[in-house]
Structure 1
Amino acid sequence: MNESDISDDKVNVPAGTKRRGTMSSSSESSDSNCDYDTELSDTENEDGEEVDEVGPSNSIVSEEWLPQKAERPPFPFTAHPGKTFNTPPKKVPLFYLEKFLDEELIKLITEQTNLYATQFFDNDPELKPRSGIRKWKDTNEAEMKIFWGLLILQGIIGKPALELYFSRRRIIETPFFYETMSESRFALLCKFLHFADNLSFDPNTSNRKTYKINPIINNLSEKFRSFYVCKREICVDKSLLLWKGNLSWKQYISTKRARFGMKLFILSESQSGYIQNIILYTGKDTNYGSNYPQEKQSTRIFWS
C-alpha cells in the first residue's frame, strides 16, 4: 500500500471492510501518524461466516426516545370507603351534629369555661361591685348546647352586630334569640368560653400558639378520621379561615375569597370534599406531627 493511498485527514475504505489499526512510531513514517492494515471481505468475516453488508463507515445512526406504553401499577387500595356508623331512617341534621359535638366534647367545654371563670374572679378581687361580670353563674351542659345552637344560627341569620340578634325593634327583631337566652347571659358565656386550662400551659411545647384551641382541633380531627373512610383519590389543599383581628400568624392571600385569615392545610377526599384532617399553620412553629420528621413539608402534612 502506497502512502498516497492514505492521507492524514481521511482514509477511504470500501463498504463492508473490517478495519484494524495499529499505531506506528514516528521513526517508521514521518508523514503519517498511523498505519492501517485492511482486510477486504464483502460477505464473509474472519471465520468464514456470511454476514450482512455494512453501510458506509461514516454514516450516522439516529437514536430516538420512544414512549413506553407500560403504565405503573397503582398502589393497592384495601380500605372500604364510606361512613363507619349507622344512620337513622330519617336523615335529621341534629343526628350528625351530635356525632361531632357529642356529650364528651360539651362536657369538656363546660368544665373549662367554669374553671376559667373561677380563675378570673380569683385573680381580680378588686372587681367593681356593679360590674356586669359579677352576674356570672356556672353554666351546665344543657345551657352550653343552647349556646352553641345560637352560634350556629348566627351563621345562617347574618347581622352586622351581636346586639342586633337580641333587639326587640320590630323591623329587625329575631324573637327566637331573646326568647331562648338573654343578651347579657349570652355575652357572659362568650367572655368566659374556654377549652383548656391556662395554668397547664407549657411555653416549651411545639404547639404553644394554639394551646387554647388544641383540645377542640384534636377532638374533631380524630372524629373526622374515624367516622368516614375516604376513597382512594384524596388531595392536600390550603384554605383560609377569615380572621381580621390581631394574630401573629395571620396570612394574606389575595387569591382567596377571605384574603385575611388563618391558613389551614386540609386533607380531603377529591370527590366529595370531606375533610379527614386539618393542620393550622402558625409559621415556622407549625406542628406537622411526629411522623416522618426528615421528610418535606408536603409529605409530613399528608402523613400527619
Structure 2
Amino acid sequence: MAHCTCEETLETVLDSEEEFTFSSEEEQDEEWSHFEERLDPAEDENDIDQMPVAKKARTSKQPALTWKAETEVDLVPQTLRFVPAREPGPQLWPTDSYTPLGLFKLFFTENAVSTLCYNTNAQAARSLARGRKYKWTDVSVSEMYRYFGLIFYMGMVKLISIKDYWRQGSLFSVPFPATIMSRDRYRTISWNMHMSHPAEDKENDKKKGTNEYDRLFRVKPLMDTIRLACKTIYHPRRNLAVDERMVACKANSGMTQYMKAKPTKWGFKLFVLADSSNGYTLDFSVYTGKNNTATGNGLPYDTVMSLLDRKVLGSGYHVYMDNFYTSPKLLTDMLGMKYGACGTYRDYRKNSPQNAPNSLTKNSPRGSIRWIRNGPLVFVKWMDTREVSVCSTIHPAYTGDTVQRRVKAQDTWSLKTFPCPAPVTAYNQYMGGVDLSDQLLQYYTAQHKTLKWYRKIFLHFLDIAATNSYTIHKELYGNMTHKEFMEQLIAELCGVSPKIPQKRASSDHVPVPGAPLSTDTRKVASSGRRICVHCKALYQCFVLCE
C-alpha cells in the first residue's frame, strides 16, 4: 500500500477537499433503531412535521401512482463500478510496525501538538497578564503527550472529580496520576488549553453578527488537522453510513442542539461519515446553525454532499442514511456522481410518491410489500410492526429475502418468517456504521465536565484519534482488545511500562551471612542477627539470616 502520512500527500488531499461553513432516543428494538423520526431544530423548512399550506397544495396535485406488490418483478438497477481512489484499508507502509502511540501520532502529529502548545502558552500568558494567580511554565510537546495520557487514564479509571485522582491517604486513592504530573499542573494546562491563538480569537470575536464571523474559529486549526488525517490514513470499503453524533454539552455557545431521539439529547451535533464495516470515522462536520451560504437544497442535501469528496474517495460507493437526509433529488444527484444510496424517507418529501388506494394501510398484514420504480429510484413500503419506507438507487424492490420475527399466537411466542424488501435488508446491515463508531467512542471516552465549550470538542477529537487508531491497529494486527490497546496507549503517552513489577516475596538462595555463623544456640533468632549480604546487594531488601 502507499504511504500517505507525508506532508505532500496531506496537502494533496486537502487541496481536493470542498470547504463548507458548518463544521444516541433510546433503542426500543434493534431493528427499529434507525426508523425513528427525529425532532430536531436543525431540520430545514421542508422537513417540519406541520407542512405549510402551499406545500400541501403542491403535494395534492401530484398524480397518483400505482403501487406494486412483491409478486411483481422489479428491474435490477445497473451496478455501479466500484473504483476507489486508493486500495481500501490502512494507507501505511506494510513493512513498518506501528505501536498504539505511533498510530495515535498520525492524528495528533508533533507539528499539531507543537501548535497546540504554542497557543496554550499564549493563552496562559494572557491570563497571567489579566491577573490570574498561579504558577506557569511553558508546556512542551512531551509534556502535552503526557497530559493526553492522563486524560485517557481518567477515561478508563472513573472517579467523581478531577481532584480525586491526586487524593492521598485514602482507601480509594490512585497513585498513578501523581507520578506523571502534579494536580495543579494538570489543572493549569486544562484551564489554558487553546487550539487557536488568543489574539486571533479576539479579531474573530469583533466580527460577531456578520457573515465573516466563524463560530468554530477556536477549534478549527486542530479540527482541520484531524479531519485531514482521518481521510488520509485510511481508505474506506464500499459501504458507508451518514448519521448524526451528539457531543454532550449545555454551554451557551449558540451551537448546542436538542435531539429528543438521541441518548445524549443536549450538545453539539456532528454530521459523520463512517465506514460501515468497522465504524472508522472518515469525516465529520460540526453543525453551527443556519448557513447563509446554503445552496437552497436544504441542510440534509448540503451535509451529505459536503462529506462526499469524489477526488478523495473515488466512485461506486454505496451510502446509507436515515430519513433526515433521504430525498429523491439527493439520491438522483448522488447517482450522477457515481454514488449509490439507500435510506428511509419521509412521505411528504418533494417528488416522493404519495399514498394511493392500493398502498399499505394500518390493517395490512405483517410482511406486506408495496413498491414503485421511478427511473433509477425505487420506493418501497414494508409492513413490520409498523410501516417502513425506504428509497434506493442500488437495489431492486424484492429479491426473496426473508426475516424472522417473534409472533404471539394463543399465548405462545414462536418465530415466523416474513418476506423483506432488498433495500430494507441492506439498510439494516450497513446503516449502523456511525452507531458502531459511537459505541467504540463511548467505551473509554475522554469526555468529562468542563466549563469551556471548545474543550468539549477538543476532548472529542482525542476520542476520534484514539478510536480510529484502535480500528487501524485491529485491521493491521488484530492481536489486542480495545482495553489492552488503550492501556498500551496510555503507558506510551506517559512514558511508563503498562505492567508494574511485583515485589519479590521470597528468595531461592541460601542467605549469605555478613558474619560467621555461631553454633551457640543462645544466639539463634536473637537481636544479633545480621543482614543478608546477597539480598541487600541484589534486591535492595533486608533478609535476616537465621
Whether 2:298 is the aligned partner of 1:300: answer: no
- Residue in structure 2 matched with residue 190 of structure 1 by the alignment: 190
Greater relative contact order (CA < 8 Å, ≥ 6 in sequence): 2
**Aligned to 1:96, which of 85, 93, 103?**
103
**2:264 aligned with 1:262:** no
CA gap 1:261/1:173 in 2 versus in 1, 3 angstroms: same
Aligned residue among 257, 263, 278 for 2:284: 278
What TM-score, normalized by structure 1, do the two folds share? 0.69
Q: Distance in 2 between matches of 1:95 and 1:216?
A: 19
Q: CA deviation at 1:294?
A: 4.9
What is the rounded CA distance, in whole Å, between the counterparts of 2:176 and 2:110 in structure 1? 24
Q: Sequence identity, in percent?
A: 21
Contact 2:246 2:269 in 1 (8 A): yes
- Match of residue 52 from structure 2: none
Aligned with residue 108 of structure 1, among 108, 115, 122: 115
Q: Provide the rounded CA distance (Å) in 2 between the counterparts of 1:294 and 1:281.
A: 17
The equivalent position to 2:256 in structure 1, one of 247, 250, 258, is: 250
Pairing 1:13-32 to 2, within 5 Å after superposition? none
Q: After superposition, what is the alpha-carbon deviation per residue over 1:76-107, rounded to whole angstroms, capped at 9, x for unaligned?
A: 22112111113677663222212211111111
**Maintained 8 Å contact 1:233/1:271:** yes
Q: Which whole-Å CA distance do the structure 1 matches of 2:264 and 2:302 have between them? A: 26
Q: C-alpha separation between the residues in 1 aligned to 2:293 and 2:179?
A: 43
- Residue 233 of structure 1: how far off its partner (Å): 1.2
Counterpart CA distance in 1 for 2:105 and 2:213 is: 28
Tell me if structure 2 keeps the 8 A contact 1:206–1:285.
Answer: no
Q: CA shift at 1:298, angstroms?
A: 2.5
TM-aligned CA deviation for residue 182 of structure 1 = 0.4
Question: Does residue 70 of structure 1 match 2:75?
Answer: yes
Q: Please say if residues 280 and 286 of structure 1, whose CA atoms lie closer than 8 Å, have aligned partners that are also in contact.
A: no
Task: Describe the SS at the equivalent of 2:147.
Answer: helix
Distance 1:257 1:207, change over 3 A: farther
Aligned to 2:92: 85
- Flag structure 1 segments of 5+ consecutive residues without an equivalent: 1-62
Give the Å deviation of 1:207: 6.4
Q: Retained in 1: the 8 A contact 2:88–2:236?
A: yes
Superposed displacement of residue 254, structure 1: 2.9
Q: 1:189 to 1:118 in 2, by over 3 A?
A: same
Do the aligned partners of residues 146 and 138 (structure 1) sit closer, same or farther apart at CA in structure 2, a change above 3 Å counting? Answer: same
- 2:290 is paired with a residue whose SS is helix
Query: Are 2:119 and 2:198, in contact at CA under 8 Å, matched by a contact in 1?
Result: no
Q: Which amino acid aligns with 1:299?
A: Y
Structure 1 residue 256: Cα displacement = 1.8
* RMSD (Å), alpha carbons: 2.6
Q: Quote how far apart the aligned CAs of 1:272 are.
A: 1.4
Q: Indicate the larger mover: 269-278 or 182-191.
A: 269-278
Contact 2:211/2:292, CA 8 A, preserved across alignment: no
| Farther off after superposition, 148-157 or 206-215 | 206-215
Question: Is the CA contact (8 Å cut-off) linking 1:84 and 1:227 kept in structure 2?
Answer: yes
> Which aligned pairs between 1:162-201 and structure 2 lie closer than 5 A?
162-201=162-201
**Corresponding residue number in structure 1 for 2:140:** 140
Larger radius of gyration: 1
Post-superposition shift, 1:283?
1.5
- Tell me which residue corresponds to 1:210: 216
Using a 3 Å threshold, how does the CA distance of structure 1 residues 260 and 294 change in structure 2: closer, same or farther?
closer
How far apart are the structure 2 equivalents of 1:241 and 1:78? 34
Instruction: Provide the rounded CA distance (Å) in 2 between the counterparts of 1:286 and 1:227.
Output: 33
Report the residue type matching 1:107 in the other structure: S
Relative to structure 1, the CA distance from residue 278 to residue 64 in structure 2 (aligned partners, 3 Å threshold; closer, same or farther) is: closer
